[in-house]
Structure 1
Amino acid sequence: MEARERPAPPPSAAPPSRTAAQRKWLWGTLAVWVLLVVALGPLAGKLNGEQKNDAVSYLPAGAQSTKVADVLADLPGGSTTDIAVVYHRDGGLTPADRDAADAQARQIAAEFQAVGGQAPPPATAHDGRTAVYSFQLAESAGLRADVVDDVRALTDHHPAGLDVLVGGPGATGADMDEVFGSLDGTLMLVTVLVVTVLLIATYRSPFLWLVPLLCVGVAAAASRGLTYLLVKATGLTVTGQSGGIMTVLVFGAGTDYALLLIARYRDELRRTERPYDAMRIALRGCGPALLASAGTVVAGLTCLLAADMNNMRGLGPVGAVGVVSALVVMTTLLPAALVLLGRRVFWPLIPAYGTQDKPRRSAYARIGVFVARRPAGILVGGGILLGALAFGTLAMPGNLNLADGFTKTPESVSAAKVMAQAFPERGSQPIDVIAPAGRAADAVARAAATEGVADARLGRSADGWTEITVHAKDRPESAGERATVERLRDRLDAVPGAAVGGQTAQRIDQEHANARDRMVVVPLVLAAVLLILVALLRSLVAPLILVSAVALVWGAALGLGALVFEPVFGFAGVDPALPLLTFVFLVALGVDYGIFLMHRMREEVHAGLPAERAVLPALTSTGGVIASAGFVLAATFSVLTVLPLVLLVEVGFVIAVGVLLDTFVVRTFLVTAASLLLGRRVWWPGPLAKPRPGVPAATRPDDRSPMMAG
């Protein structure tokens, strides 16, 4: 616990004109932000209406499955809601069950505009326990989620003991829509709660925690409003996934920036008489590091514009808007509010002018001495530890099927399991094929003759296109059905313009696109982050150390996730997007703490210390606040693990683990050890790498001087 500090000496009189101008500037800053919140607040609420969670939004732009989805949307009735109504009784369907099912099927066909206008004949299992009615319901019948909800309400009335489930791709999509619809509220509530608890624990003040929390709330509202304007201006694809990640990113990054700025401001209040001047010095001291920190995240996210996946490409600008909003708020609104509130905002631990912290030997001072005694061993040992964790990626489970993408089992997934058991010899969901109208007959014949196809039939036709519905013999998203889709595409290559889509084809295209995006985006992110670090640190060696370290952290965090996702969490696989998403965020965010440490080392060198002697004071002075920031960021991203989507749970886990590894292992031990071993060479080829006249030679790394001992 910090000692209570003595009252500050009375401040000297400042020129009235300067004081008045400063207060006018501070109040003006607050007024501008109030006006911006009033203007952007209503727009923030409209962002949910612009989110797209249809299949095309999560598909690669040029894929066959994307083309199929676009063409089907333009056919008569538009995109159909494909559902399968499953009737099942363990003891076998009774005549009353069949009569009720037939009556409901006719009612569904009439009320929800089934393509063809009539109820389809049921597919009945050999054991007589299950019957399935497959419908294609016209888009004009209503929104997908509404239609599925209404069908479920209609089929909820049935004979006792009969199980009725609504499944199929349309129902799966509706269940996904429901999840995304609940993301924003749940995510915002849990994130605010987590950040509030952490800020109270960090500041131990009944008032101070409110200031950064309110500011980050302003940043969240501003980012959502600005994103809405961006979407309206550019047609950018914003999904529920990207909107949720942006919320977490704004709260995590914004709180980190606040922690670092407030810590520096508090130090300056002890050395500087007037809060305005203390804040100006604090901003000048940590501003470049904050700017570089935000710059690395923005640069990394902007590289996602090179991705082929629509949702990934949209996430880049959305996340960048969030980070920029957080940075601007935390370097304008937060400083103005803190200065206007004065020193009393820190009560009961008020930093009085002319006082110092109670001398104490901090944990990071002790860690620094420990690292200084054996830097080579610690560097090698830490590298081996992270490398061993990274080998866990070899145990990565296979790619996740769409039906396994929920942490809880929705009705559509239960329906799929019943159908798979009842019809093991036949796929229960269609493979959508389109062909030019003049070549439709040829396409049907080729599809029907393809190995693994159970049947193929003509569907709707319009605008020169014909829909062909194909059923595979194997269950949905199985290896057998995937092979059938690949064979279909090979055979239909002979039909110009033909394309194969549907749920399994979409998953195949997503996997290929994610593999391609990793090959393109990962090098771009590394190059962009490296360039920013070179510009900030004026060195090549230090940036290479930081980038190599965070890349190793990413591998270790992903490897640890691979070891626990299946045996601990019970997940059936990993989402194909997981490696790229976690890489972008861990590299861009993880390098931040290295930036703060290295930037403080530069300050110590400029203050007169030899490069070798600047490492441990920098670690000691930044250790506590960066540890708090890293813990807050990890806790914020861990909020994603409470959501009902496997992808977001996996992303939250990997990023949270990676941030903790970076904060408490890499920055504290490995970067410190590497900097001690390299000495001034860490700043090569910049001017700090050269011997400086008049600066005393560095002592041994284990020198127990007061500065190094903390």
Structure 2
Amino acid sequence: MVAAWVVTAILLSVLAPDINKVAVNDQRAFLPTGVPSLQAAQLLRAHFPERMSSNSAVGVVDAGPGHKVTTGPAWEYVEQLTTRFEALVGEGTLSRVVSPAAADEQTAKALISPDGQVAIVIVSFAEAVAGDEGNARVAHAEAQLNPAPTGVSAYLTGDAAVLAAYDHAARSSVDSTTWLTILLVVVILLIVYRSPVSPLIPLFTIGLAYLISRGVIALLGAHWWTISGYTNVFIIVVLFGAGTDYCLFLISRFREEMAVDHSTLPAVARTVGVVGETITSSAATVIVGLSTMAFAELGLYNASGPSVAIAVLIALVAGLTLTPALLAILGDKAFWPRRARRFTEGGFWSWWSNWVTRHPVWVLAVVVALLAPLAVYGQGLKRDFDLVADLSSDTPAVRGFNTLATHLDAGATSPLTALLRDPAGFDTPAGLARLAQMEAKIATVANVGQVTGFNSLLAESGTLRVHDQLSGLVGLVRRGEEQLRSTGGVASISEQALQEAADGLVELGMYLRQLAVEYPEIIRNPGFIESVEALTTLATVAGMDAPMFGVGGALGQDDATTDAPSMSAGATVGGPIDASAVVPQLARLTHGLETLGHNF
């Protein structure tokens, strides 16, 4: 029997896949398919594939109290860190880097704290950060933070870094718990039986049961169902807890049986006959309870529960077969250097049991009085999903998170992405207005610190309104007109300035054409007509190489009578320009744009 268990454990350890390789560490795989977050992820992957990332992290650079991260060694370090992260994009570890050192003004402003002390560099990982490989990717990214200049602190935080730190802490805790459990089992058995042999029996039994359970569940995970990366952790904890109890029941009863009859085999048979039913009933309740988790909606539970139930079943079979076989082989040697003896009356436990049975009412009252307040208090506890709070404050990811919470916003480490879908589209004034309303509505949700959307990223919200756009153009044209009047003509203006003015007119013409495409009704607007005529005349006066195309042909409107300019970006000024002809046309252009603006 012992040989069969050993051979089975060896075969499964060799032939079965590694449970850590088979296990799925991306927790999204265990979510029901209909949850909004997965639906949003599918839409994000379809419409914004370049922004789709399994996990992200935040590099936090702290210049120190009284110092600015945008100057001196701190800013040089931010630039170097950006270069290092971008190198990881090239090698496939990261997919995207957003840094204040390589971003536009508005984005850079959002990545630097209001006090200027802290800057963040956001990185997206190319693959999901989960398991040993994911943790290695996080460690590789974190290694880019070193070395930091003197006085500058750098941390890697965000969801990927926190998850990696949490996984490391969980595994370390399980390792510590496992060794502590083994130590306690050994110490307790040494105290009770005063034998160095007795502790080896449950350790050997549970060790083989674990190896076999690990192999069986790994095979199931490789071919039939999905298992979590934490399943192996659950198996270790439950097996060493429950399995050790089963073995202790058997060893304790075997000792008493051997004290009566020193014949080993009959003692083992009586032990299993008496205790077998007890441990089977105990294990059955655990197995049934864990198996019912298969009906849970969350995949993490409906996969882990049955897996641990299988491990408990294997531990039970090992307790009913392997442990008795070991006891049969060892006999009295299981308690060496002492001999098996019966339990005798006397001592603390005899006194305690007698006292409890003589005063049952008092015992019940005291126990209820002590436990009832704890039960009531427990009902008021709230579930907490704060992973950061479970980690040590010295963990770099936690220190980075706390730095962000102090200088920026704690939510900047892993912001939520709200995906909005509107069949009517957001690329119209009405759509942009709906988007702004949604951003404002989200901002009113409790504990939402900041909402960053398309509207909020603009330097000025008026940039989205056609009326404000036209007003800005009117201001530019009017300033050009005033400059010509004040300088006394075109001759005093440099060639470079003239070319910039020509390029500006080209861009204005392209803008009006785009406006006509989006709002065909403005083609008949007097202000639009006046603006187009003024631009056409200015192009002729300046001798610009900028061909005109009819708006009607471009828009497919045969009845259109007004032409809109469509000039190439490379239009150049040719020959001398008559200032007396330019100024009036600029005035007409200003008036036309103002008139057109009244319609928006």
Distance in 1, matches of 2:88 and 2:421, equals 31
Alignment root-mean-square deviation, CA: 3.5
Deviation at 1:299, TM superposition (A): 0.9
Distance in 1, matches of 2:432 and 2:28, equals 25
Could you report, residue by residue, the CA deviation over 1:413-444 in whole angstroms, capped at 9, with x for unpaired residues?
22222122222498453212346696774898
Asked if 1:214 corresponds to 2:204, the answer is yes
The amino acid that maps onto 2:19 is: L
Distance in 2, matches of 1:441 and 1:161, equals 46
Gap change, CA 1:198 and 1:371, over 3 Å in 2: closer
The amino acid that maps onto 1:202 is: V
Query: Do 1:208 and 1:345's aligned partners in 2 also have CA atoms closer than 8 Å?
Result: yes
Query: Do 1:88 and 1:129's aligned partners in 2 also have CA atoms closer than 8 Å?
Result: yes
Q: 1:91 aligns with which of 66, 88, 103?
A: 66
SS in 2 for 1:416: helix
Distance in 1, matches of 2:307 and 2:378, equals 29
Distance in 2, matches of 1:234 and 1:212, equals 31
- In structure 1, the partner of 2:249 is 260
- In structure 2, the partner of 1:287 is 276
Asked if 1:411 corresponds to 2:399, the answer is no
Distance in 2, matches of 1:483 and 1:127, equals 17
Distance in 2, matches of 1:444 and 1:215, equals 67
The amino acid that maps onto 1:337 is: L
Query: Do 1:420 and 1:428's aligned partners in 2 also have CA atoms closer than 8 Å?
Result: no
The amino acid that maps onto 2:185 is: V
Could you report, residue by residue, the CA deviation over 1:152-201 in whole angstroms, capped at 9, with x for unpaired residues?
22221232211112222222223234335545544443332232222222
Query: Do 1:187 and 1:244's aligned partners in 2 also have CA atoms closer than 8 Å?
Result: no
Gap change, CA 1:334 and 1:448, over 3 Å in 2: farther
The amino acid that maps onto 1:91 is: G
- In structure 1, the partner of 2:374 is 389
Q: Please, which runs of 5 or more residues in structure 2 have no aligned partner?
A: 453-600
Query: Do 1:112 and 1:141's aligned partners in 2 also have CA atoms closer than 8 Å?
Result: no
- In structure 2, the partner of 1:223 is 213
Deviation at 1:232, TM superposition (A): 1.5
Gap change, CA 1:473 and 1:223, over 3 Å in 2: same
Distance in 2, matches of 1:375 and 1:197, equals 32
**Residues 213-612 of structure 1 correspond to what in structure 2 (within 5 A)?**
213-240=203-230, 242-272=231-261, 274-351=263-340, 357=342, 359-394=344-379, 396=381, 399-424=384-409, 427-434=412-419, 441=426, 448-450=436-438, 479-481=446-448
Distance in 1, matches of 2:208 and 2:201, equals 11
Could you report, residue by residue, the CA deviation over 1:287-309 in whole angstroms, capped at 9, with x for unpaired residues?
11111000000111112122223
SS in 1 for 2:414: coil
SS in 1 for 2:364: helix
Distance in 1, matches of 2:43 and 2:144, equals 30
Q: Please, which runs of 5 or more residues in structure 1 have no aligned partner?
A: 1-28, 455-471, 486-710
SS in 2 for 1:370: helix
Q: 2:4 aligns with which of 5, 20, 32?
A: 32
Query: Do 1:171 and 1:412's aligned partners in 2 also have CA atoms closer than 8 Å?
Result: yes
SS in 1 for 2:447: helix
Deviation at 1:214, TM superposition (A): 1.2
- In structure 1, the partner of 2:179 is 189
Gap change, CA 1:359 and 1:255, over 3 Å in 2: closer
Deviation at 1:36, TM superposition (A): 0.5
Asked if 1:151 corresponds to 2:141, the answer is yes
Between the two proteins, the alignment pairs up a number of residues equal to: 431
TM-score, normalised with respect to structure 1: 0.55
Deviation at 1:263, TM superposition (A): 1.5
Distance in 2, matches of 1:174 and 1:253, equals 30
Deviation at 1:410, TM superposition (A): 2.2
Stretch of structure 1 that moved more, 391-400 or 314-323: 391-400
- In structure 2, the partner of 1:23 is none
Deviation at 1:235, TM superposition (A): 2.4
Higher relative contact order (CA 8 A, sep 6+): 1
SS in 2 for 1:85: strand
Q: 1:130 aligns with which of 111, 118, 121?
A: 118
Greater radius of gyration (CA) = 2
Deviation at 1:233, TM superposition (A): 2.7
Distance in 2, matches of 1:261 and 1:269, equals 12
Query: Do 1:425 and 1:473's aligned partners in 2 also have CA atoms closer than 8 Å?
Result: no
Gap change, CA 1:52 and 1:177, over 3 Å in 2: farther
- In structure 2, the partner of 1:105 is 82
Distance in 2, matches of 1:91 and 1:311, equals 47
SS in 1 for 2:228: coil
Distance in 2, matches of 1:105 and 1:324, equals 53
Gap change, CA 1:125 and 1:369, over 3 Å in 2: closer
How much identity, in percent, do the aligned residues show?
Answer: 26
